[in-house]
A and B are shown apart, each in its own frame.
Chain A
Amino acid sequence: MARSFRDILNSGKFVVTGEIGPPKGTNIDRMLRHIDLLKDKVDALNVTDHQSSVMRFPSIGGALAIVERGGEAILQMTCRDRNRLALQAELLFAYTRGIKNVLCLTGDAVVVGDHKTAKGVFDLDSSQLLRMVRLLESGKDMGGNDLDGAVDFCAGAIVTPEADPPGPQLIKFGKKIDAGAEFFQTQAIYDLDNFRRFMELAKKFKVPVLAGIVLLTSAPMARFMNKNVPGIFVPQPLIDELASAPKGEALKKGVEIAGRMIREIKQEKLCDGVHIMAIGKEETVPDILKAAGMP
């Protein structure tokens, strides 16, 4: 039997995870193609949960498809759309269907998405959700009742190394570890000097950290992220590098940059692995891995 993601995290191997974004609609062909393309090239695949509060096919549906096709799924679960009853129920269901990993997130605000007038739930936050996973594992629910059959999850969380200011974020990071986070995937990082400084602090906690690699597709996209996405900082030299690419080859340059960053992180053993987010360009992930020198 293949090793579990938890075993891989603790094996000392340089871990690589990828990400699948479910479609808006019932046409799941493209999502299934991405799963088939990536499932054997990475150690596990996240499935996003209405990313940026944009309504889509559910993360649990994507995670089930990964498991059915023989891959390892990381179910992303946010607290934005479900109260504690619904979150617990979904975890019970996920466990019975072979989903063994869950990434616990607070979730983006509803008002940044495409259903701006919807009610944001936020009954729990990410650290409370992590503790809830551990409680379900002990055979109890949040109402104090016994479960007829418990769960067992490798539960992770996220952290933003470029958070500005860093202080509040680091306290939350510590709370997530106390709550039982077994691994962290980070928000996108581009400045390795900043990331090195973050890892000096993070290493003390001895929890595996996978550096977030978001594929840059063009100089305008990089500038847009700098301006609009909290906790993302693309240094000017990288933007210049993208801008210098011949017409129509910015994406190729982005793939090269992502591959180079992964190679540097791996060679320097900066952290325990990477989480590659090729938002909408999942078919480039094998090229990114090739550029990183990882067959």
Chain B
Amino acid sequence: MIRSITKQKSFEEISGMLEQASRVFIFGCGTCTTMARTGGLPEVIRMADKLKDAKKTITGWMMLPVACDELTGEALEENRDAIMSAETLLVMTCAFGVQTIAMHLDKPVIPALDTLFIGKEKAPGLFDEICIQCGACVLAYTGGICPVAGCHKGLLNGPCGGTNKGKCEIGSDKDCVWSLIYNKLEKLGRLDLMRVYHPPKNYHVEPQPGKIIIPFDARSEEDGTKL
């Protein structure tokens, strides 16, 4: 399952953003930030305690099951009074959750987390970025391992000169994705795929901000299947 990987901002930065607010309501999320231990129940309680120590009034806090989900609107209703009596909402979800809450409520929202990447938990506590939604998938040529997300420079035609014993020049804790791709293709007997030249990438397959409108019955029109 894809996850939104986050990291908590420093308390100093959070305090700075909350400078004008004396009454604060806190949101956590039961999905990605619980898994990443950045906005789960223990983190929300710890944050509430720290803010109380910093002389803030906490009007309440709640854990949204999936902050980015549309059901968040209904969940907010359950705590309407406590939420509305706060001046500012401190949101310990990823940026999707922050924006979902902001859509539903006309209250200043303060993100307590930075959203780093969309990734996968490969092992307990180990999160890897695996797709940056570039709009031009090359996985057919790379053994199912993405160089656009996995290479620091997003290189399409093989490693740079900074590759070192299978690691990346920016840090020995990061794999050189082109070593992983090479090993996988070698195992598959398809190193020929790595010799394929990829022309410069189209960075505007879907120009930012992305927006797609899919006609309601597009699928049945295209292939004649009735849903």
A178 contact set on B, CB distance < 8 A: 197
Q: Is A287 on the interface with B (CB-CB < 8 A)?
A: no
Indicate if the CB atoms of A231 and B170 lie closer than 8 Å.
no
Indicate if the CB atoms of A123 and B158 lie closer than 8 Å.
no
* A107-137 CB contacts (< 8 Å) to partner B: 107-109, 111-112, 120, 122-128, 131-132
Given contacts A120-B153, A123-B200, A165-B179, contact A174 B195 (CB under 8 A): yes
Indicate if the CB atoms of A168 and B159 lie closer than 8 Å.
yes
Indicate if the CB atoms of A125 and B162 lie closer than 8 Å.
no
Q: Bound state CA distance, A142 and B200, in angstroms?
A: 9
Given contacts A106-B155, A109-B170, A168-B158, contact A163 B203 (CB under 8 A): no
Q: Bound state CA distance, A127 and B155, in angstroms?
A: 10
Interface string of B25-51 (1 = CB under 8 A from A): 000000000000000000000000000
Interface string of B147-183 (1 = CB under 8 A from A): 0000011111111111111100110000010110110
B201 contact set on A, CB distance < 8 A: 123
Indicate if the CB atoms of B178 and A122 lie closer than 8 Å.
no
- Partner pick for B157 among A142, A163, A175, CB 8 A cutoff: A175
Indicate if the CB atoms of B158 and A172 lie closer than 8 Å.
yes
Indicate if the CB atoms of B200 and A124 lie closer than 8 Å.
yes
Indicate if the CB atoms of A230 and B163 lie closer than 8 Å.
yes
Indicate if the CB atoms of B157 and A172 lie closer than 8 Å.
yes
Q: Is B14 on the interface with A (CB-CB < 8 A)?
A: no
Smallest CB-CB separation from A120: which chain B residue? Answer: B153
Indicate if the CB atoms of B200 and A128 lie closer than 8 Å.
yes
Indicate if the CB atoms of A168 and B182 lie closer than 8 Å.
yes
A131 contact set on B, CB distance < 8 A: 197, 199
Smallest CB-CB separation from A163: which chain B residue? Answer: B163
Indicate if the CB atoms of B155 and A122 lie closer than 8 Å.
yes
Count, chain A residues at interface, CB 8 A: 36
Q: Is A284 on the interface with B (CB-CB < 8 A)?
A: no
Distance (Å) between the CB of B193 and the closest chain A CB?
10
Distance (Å) between the CB of A102 and the closest chain B CB?
17
B154 contact set on A, CB distance < 8 A: 122
Indicate if the CB atoms of A165 and B182 lie closer than 8 Å.
yes
A171 contact set on B, CB distance < 8 A: 158, 182, 191, 194-195
Indicate if the CB atoms of B162 and A172 lie closer than 8 Å.
no
Q: Is A295 on the interface with B (CB-CB < 8 A)?
A: no
Interface string of A160-171 (1 = CB under 8 A from B): 100111011101
A175 contact set on B, CB distance < 8 A: 157-158, 195, 197
Distance (Å) between the CB of B194 and the closest chain A CB?
5
B176 contact set on A, CB distance < 8 A: 168
Smallest CB-CB separation from B182: which chain A residue? Answer: A168
A172 contact set on B, CB distance < 8 A: 157-159
Given contacts A158-B161, A178-B197, A231-B164, contact A111 B170 (CB under 8 A): yes
Q: Bound state CA distance, A163 and B201, in angstroms?
A: 26
Q: Is B70 on the interface with A (CB-CB < 8 A)?
A: no
Q: Is A84 on the interface with B (CB-CB < 8 A)?
A: yes
B179 contact set on A, CB distance < 8 A: 165, 168
B206 contact set on A, CB distance < 8 A: none
Q: Bound state CA distance, A154 and B200, in angstroms?
A: 21
Q: Bound state CA distance, A199 and B162, in angstroms?
A: 21
Indicate if the CB atoms of A125 and B156 lie closer than 8 Å.
yes
Indicate if the CB atoms of A108 and B169 lie closer than 8 Å.
yes
Q: Bound state CA distance, A167 and B166, in angstroms?
A: 11
Indicate if the CB atoms of B166 and A165 lie closer than 8 Å.
yes
Distance (Å) between the CB of A158 and the closest chain B CB?
6
Q: Is A17 on the interface with B (CB-CB < 8 A)?
A: no
Q: Is A179 on the interface with B (CB-CB < 8 A)?
A: yes
Q: Which 7 A-B pairs have the closest CB atoms?
A: A230-B164, A172-B158, A122-B153, A168-B182, A106-B160, A127-B157, A125-B155
- A interface vs B, CB < 8 Å? 84, 105-109, 111-112, 120, 122-128, 131-132, 142, 158, 160, 163-165, 167-169, 171-172, 174-175, 178-179, 187, 230-231
A sample of 20 more A-B contacts (CB under 8 A), given A112-B169, A174-B195, is A84-B200, A109-B162, A111-B170, A112-B162, A120-B152, A123-B200, A125-B157, A126-B157, A127-B197, A128-B156, A128-B199, A160-B161, A163-B161, A168-B159, A171-B158, A172-B158, A175-B157, A230-B161, A230-B164, A231-B164
